[in-house]
Amino acid sequence: MTKKPILICTFLALTSGFFGSYIGGQIALMVHRQKCQNQPWGFKEVCNAWVTPGALWQGSTTGLWTGTVLGAVVGGLATRQVRD
């Protein structure tokens, strides 16, 4: 088996967390921008600028936690040692 399971598990959890943060931010941004679609042009731009920071923060934070936890679980399962 591997000689450094903690390092592998940690790397997998952090990588998964950062990927989840990016994807979560993009999804939340798309969802929040849908609310601005029925505004006239000028108001739509102001609405998009208003919701972007909050959407990115909310989605990134949620994605980071979810990705890190899931990555740690998968990493733990992948590096566990079977005992006889």
* Cα gap 78→4, rounded to integer Å: 12
Q: For residue 57, is it within any domain?
A: yes
Number of structural domains found in the chain: 1
The model's confidence at residue 2, banded by pLDDT at 50, 70 and 90, is low
* DSSP tag of 84: -
What are the residues whose beta carbons fall under 8 Å from the beta carbon of 20, sequence distance 6 or more? Answer: 63, 64, 65, 66, 67, 68, 70, 71
pLDDT in tens, 38-47: 989 889 999 9
Q: For residue 37, is it within any domain?
A: yes
Please tell me the pTM assigned to this model: 0.80
Residue at 59: amino acid letter: G
**% of the chain at pLDDT higher than 90:** 63
For residue 55, give its domain range.
5-79
- Alpha helices (H) in 1-40, listed in sequence order: 5-34
Q: For residue 60, is it within any domain?
A: yes
Q: For residue 84, is it within any domain?
A: no
Direct distance between the N- and C-terminal alpha carbons of the chain, in angstroms, rounded to an integer: 15
Q: For residue 42, is it within any domain?
A: yes
